[in-house]
Structure 1
Amino acid sequence: MLLLPILIIFALEICVLKTSNAIPNQSVQKWDPNACTLIVCGPAQNGLPGRDGRDGKEGPKGEKGSQGLQGVPGLKGDPGNAGTSGPKGDKGPLGEKGVKGERGLQGATGQEGKPGIAGAPGPKGDKGSVGEKGAKGSNGDRGLQGSSGLQGLKGQIGSPGPKGDKGSIGEKGTKGDSGLSEINLLKRQVSTLEGQLRALQSSFSKYKQVITFPNGRIVGEKIFMTSGYEGNFESLKQRCSQAGGQLASPRNAAENTAIHQIVALYNKPVFLGINDIQTEGRFKYLNGENIVYSNWEPREPNNDKGAEDCVEVYTSGKWNDKSCGERRLIVCEF
């Protein structure tokens, strides 16, 4: 029993010697008084560990070392993500007025535009001065011979002349008509004269009404006249009828030219006596006959907005379908 304590003491001494002669870089297990009373130092088989060096004095502080060389600049980092937009800044002061620029080159002429819609009629102009007297026209063709006039009254009986010599006997004549046939002939002549008189009275009445219009054109047996009055289709039609005529209804290019001259003189479009009120797209004269001549503007008639049933003449002489409620210049034909 005495041998065991001796061996323990011997082991402790050997451990102290081993610790003092240990290599500086060798790891040493420290003594921790709060843990165990015995800590193995180095290899366990070499003996018990000695005390740690906490009881030793602290060594002197070393001198400050020289500043090291400046390091190599690092590489430029990747650009950061765009930040959120900041609030809108205040409105800046108004800048100075710039210098007026030079005038640019004139552009190319554009395409001719479509004819504009006829404007509202302007005020009636002053009466123009009387033009110079025109040159005397050439003599017209001789007219047809008129019918024989009525037989004149029987003249007074003259004084008897001297008795003449007896003539030779003539050939036997044809048998004459009876007195009844002569009466029938006179009746026929009187009837013919009465018809001519009625025609003359009608023509005189017509021309008397025509002269109430100041301007007009004559084409063949037709006369186209205007009074300067403006109204819708129905009122124009009624006015022409009251004057013994009707709304101008051209049946050929010559008559359309005469109407165009009046339109150009007044610089106002006119309504014609033509419409498609009864059947859309089928234009007719006022008497119900289909038209035999037309002079439409390109892409007309188009019945714009489904309300164009009457026909107007532009200042160019071309036709366009138009609403009958519009106001236009009157042109009648006689």
Structure 2
Amino acid sequence: MTVCLGLICVLLLVIIIFITAKRESLLNSYKNTVEEINQTINNLQDNYTDLTQKKLELENSFNSLSQKKMELESKVTELTREASKQGFFFISCELKSWSESRKYCRDRGADLVIINTEEKQRLISSVVKDRVWIGLSDIETEGRMIWVDNSTLNRGFWFRGEPNNYEGNEDCVELIPTNDSVNNWNDLPCSEKRKGICEKN
């Protein structure tokens, strides 16, 4: 009887040890699984944070590009409007007097160019390669420069010392292409032969 009880006690002890070991193993396994899940959650949270930051950066970049696009579209509209106001230009092929050059332009539905802004002056200066007549003269009243549309000259883009009405016979104005794209007008006799730059609106 004692032996049987001893065997039963040993058997129970073995069973308890086995169950305890199994329980520890399961607990460790569960613990590892929980740690892996927590690590995955942390990684996902980090990724989410990174993606949120990148999303904000992309939204800022998009807004900045949209603003630049609007600015460029506005600039294109402004330039198109300015170009439409200026019309288009063409230069005569032959050397003619100021009056003949004006006639050449008018026969083609245009007139000698009027330059009333620095932007237009720079534009004209950038395209001409030869000395050209422009639509400015003081033929009617000496010293009173008038454009071909009868408007008075408000701002001139003269060479230094010009207009000087040399020998009292310089009533018409030419533009001479130089390195200075702003101040390059000169007065000279209207009978001189030059190409003319025409403007058609």
State the match for 1:276 in structure 2. 138
Q: 2:114 aligns with which of 237, 249, 264?
A: 249
**CA contact under 8 A between 1:219 and 1:254: conserved in structure 2?**
no
The 3 A distance-change label for structure 1 pair 235 and 241 is same
Aligned-pair identity (%): 29
- Counterparts of 1:206-225 in structure 2 under 5 Å? 219-222=83-86, 223-225=88-90
Residue 235 in 1 paired to residue 100 in 2? yes
Distance 2:92 2:147 in 1: 22
Runs (4 or more) in structure 1 with deviation over 4 Å come to: 138-141
Deviations 1:50-103 (A, max 9, x none): xxxxxxxxxxxxxxxxxxxxxxxxxxxxxxxxxxxxxxxxxxxxxxxxxxxxxx
Aligned to 2:152: 290
2:150 is the counterpart of 1:313: no
Residue 315 of structure 1: how far off its partner (Å):
1.2
- How many residues are aligned here? 119
How far is the alpha carbon of 1:312 from its aligned partner? Answer: 0.7
Corresponding residue SS for 2:106: helix
| Partners of 2:153 and 2:137 in 1: CA distance | 10
Counterpart CA distance in 2 for 1:225 and 1:219 is 14
Residue of structure 1 equivalent to 2:42: none
SS where residue 240 of structure 1 aligns? helix
Pick from 175, 191, 194: which aligns with 1:325?
191
Q: Distance in 2 between matches of 1:246 and 1:296?
A: 21
Q: CA deviation at 1:332?
A: 0.5
Structure 1, residues 172-220: CA drift from partner, whole Å, max 9, x if none?
A: xxxxxxxxxxxxxxxxxxxxxxxxxxxxxxxxxxxxxxxxxxxxxx845
* Structure with larger Rg: 1
What is the aligned partner in structure 1 of residue 48 from structure 2? Answer: none
Q: 1:287 to 1:221 in 2, by over 3 A?
A: closer
What's the offset of the Cα at 1:231?
A: 0.9
Query: In 2, are the aligned partners of 1:224 and 1:258 still within 8 Å (CA)?
Result: no
Secondary structure, in 3 states, of the residue corresponding to 1:250? coil
Q: Which has the higher helix share?
A: 2
Alpha-carbon distance in 1 for matches of 2:122, 2:131: 13
Alignment of 1:54-133 (within 5 A): none
By how many angstroms is 1:301 displaced?
0.8
Letter paired with 1:240: C
Counterpart in the other structure of 1:258: 123
SS where residue 127 of structure 2 aligns? helix
Superposed, which structure 2 residues align to 1:152-163 within 5 Å?
none
TM-score of the superposition, structure 2-length normalised?
0.54
Q: How does 1:5-44 map to 2 (within 5 A)?
A: none
Q: Distance in 1 between matches of 2:111 and 2:131?
A: 17
**Greater relative contact order (Cα 8 A, min sep 6): structure 1 or 2?**
2
1:304 match: 166
Distance 2:92 2:162 in 1: 28
CA RMSD of aligned residues (A): 2.1
Q: TM-score, normalised by structure 1?
A: 0.33
